[in-house]
Amino acid sequence: MSDTPRMSDRPEGFPGAGSLSWRYLGQWRLLTTIGRAIVLETAHPVVDAGVVEFSTYRKHPWRRIEQTLLSLQRLLYQDEADREREAARLRRLHGHVNGVDAQGRAYSALDPEAQAWVHLTVFDAMVLMCELGGDPLDEERQAELYAEWLLVGLQFGVPADAMPGTVEEFRVWFDETVRDKLTAGQGVEQLLDALGRLPAPAALSFVPEAVWSAGCAAFGAAIRTVVASTLPPSYREQLGERGRVPFGAETMVSLACRTAAVASDLLPTKWVYMPLAATYIAAKREAGRGLRRFGPHDRAAEPAAQLADLFVRILDQTGDGVLSWPDLAALARVFSDRLDLAAVDEEVMYAAFHAWWDELRTTADTDGDGVVDADEYRVLADAAPGAAMAALMVSVAAAVDRDGDGRIDQADYARLLGADAAATQRIAWLHAMDADGDGVVTVEEFADALRESVLGRARSDTLEFVLGRA
């Protein structure tokens, strides 16, 4: 009996940065084996019936491929709230795909067995991608990747009892399904035929139709050969002539896959990974730079420089060298404009900033001149934050949380930062505020990060970007 842990024995937690799923799913070289996955998925009788009746790949193949790859990336790389939205979208979409097939059998895209098959063929594609690329996964890493992919399946809504619990059980189930369940039906036939009639993608729309048609025939034949060479031999036999692989084709495909694997090791992330995956991977690497907390060594080494920079560039909006109500009113105006607040919400924002100003005058204006200079403000860095300041930061964070769900998601954050910030920056800066590392930035975490930044205890790229520019 295998000692590989079953899904129920695995620690809870969705695969994140550093996981095998993150490493392999988003690589462009998955295109070398994703064709196998698509054909095997379509060969399932339930999927075949849905594809024949509902799929748009015959007319819009590039759009379908793009949407499929984008959806896979969304289910894995995005933050929890965004993953949940994508999973819910897919469930709604598949809920409309049902009917009666040509043999009079009822089918539904939400059939648990079909869902499990579609999901786990992607795992199979990742394993084969590594094998053909010359960097095969050993037993331990296959088990680890499989356990991760089961969690992704649960996120998507695949019932746990529909998926084999271990990678060993998966292999038996996979072979039995290929042998006993898959068919060379109309959906697969149409899919393979469509490869020879691919329309020019939008980026190549300038190519004359005659030129494209001539090249497409050869291109389609090459794709069909690649796909056929990666299929299980038993299913290739079912396809007959369509599954025939020319002599030497498997060697050429293996060479191409190994070349792609070597290139993936040498090229930068943005070229190795698909756009969404590359953005999140790069953002995770940069996230630690978004909010850098200053420890005792930092405070001892350069407290004056840090606080002086914060005071001059962020807080002193009027540039007169001191803090007064006009400075804080300017901050309120920037946040209100950025978030496009309604009149009543804008009044709340101004009132919160004014309450902080009243608190500042009471706690920091030691000489009673009605303003707070840099030396007076510096004392606050080592003091407990006042109630008005804490309330202000919560008010700002709550205003950013436009849908009121208690979380700051990418849409909320992008509204604050505007279109100027690149996606990688936005994702990295937001993740830097995730204090407990659970993949969700709560309103409280966002407020805490802003407060620590305003007190000079940490450096926040969010404040730098929103408030520090001339």
CATH number, domain with residue 344: 1.10.238.10
Query: Last residue of a domain, which of 209, 244, 273?
Result: 273
The reply to whether 318 and 246 lie within a common domain is no
Lowest mean pLDDT among 34-38, 226-230, 363-367, 415-419: 415-419
Residue 437 falls inside a structural domain: yes
Residue 288 falls inside a structural domain: no
Query: Last residue of a domain, which of 273, 303, 333?
Result: 273
Model pLDDT, residue 45: 94
Q: Are 20 and 180 in contact (CB under 8 A)?
A: no
For 165-189, the pLDDT digits (tens) are: 999 999 999 999 999 999 998 888 8
Amino acid at the residue 162: A
Model pLDDT, residue 167: 96
Residue 280 falls inside a structural domain: no
Model pLDDT, residue 462: 81
Residue 170 falls inside a structural domain: yes
Interatomic CA distance for residues 424 and 74, integer angstroms:
15
Lowest mean pLDDT among 24-33, 303-312, 355-364: 303-312
Lowest mean pLDDT among 280-294, 351-365, 376-390, 397-411: 280-294
Amino acid at the residue 435: A
The reply to whether 328 and 458 lie within a common domain is yes
The reply to whether 268 and 311 lie within a common domain is no
The reply to whether 310 and 194 lie within a common domain is no
For 226-254, the pLDDT digits (tens) are: 888 899 999 999 988 888 888 888 888 88
Percentage above 90 pLDDT, the chain: 30
Average pLDDT score, the chain: 83
- Beta bridge partners, 182, equal none
Residues 6+ apart with CB under 8 A from 324: 318, 357, 370, 371, 372
Q: In the predicted model, what is the mean pLDDT of residues 408-422?
A: 76
The reply to whether 418 and 452 lie within a common domain is yes
pLDDT greater at residue 137 or residue 278: 137
The reply to whether 128 and 202 lie within a common domain is yes
The reply to whether 245 and 321 lie within a common domain is no
Interatomic CA distance for residues 302 and 417, integer angstroms:
29
Residue 1 falls inside a structural domain: no
Residue 286 falls inside a structural domain: no
Q: Mutual orientation of helices 139-156 and 80-95 as an angle, nearest 10°?
A: 70
Interatomic CA distance for residues 469 and 341, integer angstroms:
21
The reply to whether 315 and 223 lie within a common domain is no
Domain tally for the chain?
2
Model pLDDT, residue 137: 95
CA 387 to chain centre: 37
Query: Last residue of a domain, which of 239, 273, 307?
Result: 273
Residue 283 falls inside a structural domain: no
Q: Which domain holds residue 46?
A: 7-273
The reply to whether 236 and 114 lie within a common domain is yes
Interatomic CA distance for residues 437 and 171, integer angstroms:
34
Percentage above 70 pLDDT, the chain: 87
Backbone dihedral angles phi then psi of residue 389, each to the nearest 5 degrees: -65, -45
Global pTM? 0.70
Model pLDDT, residue 12: 56
CB-based burial of residue 38 (10 Å sphere; 0-12 exposed, 13-18 middle, 19+ buried)? buried
The reply to whether 244 and 320 lie within a common domain is no
The reply to whether 12 and 115 lie within a common domain is yes
For 299-324, the pLDDT digits (tens) are: 433 445 666 778 888 888 888 888 89
Cα atoms in the Cβ-side hemisphere of radius 13 Å centred on 334: 22
pLDDT greater at residue 219 or residue 337: 337
The reply to whether 113 and 190 lie within a common domain is yes
Interatomic CA distance for residues 77 and 75, integer angstroms:
6
Measure Cα distances from 254 to 263, 396, 401 in Å. 14, 55, 50
Residue 401 falls inside a structural domain: yes
Q: Are 230 and 132 in contact (CB under 8 A)?
A: yes
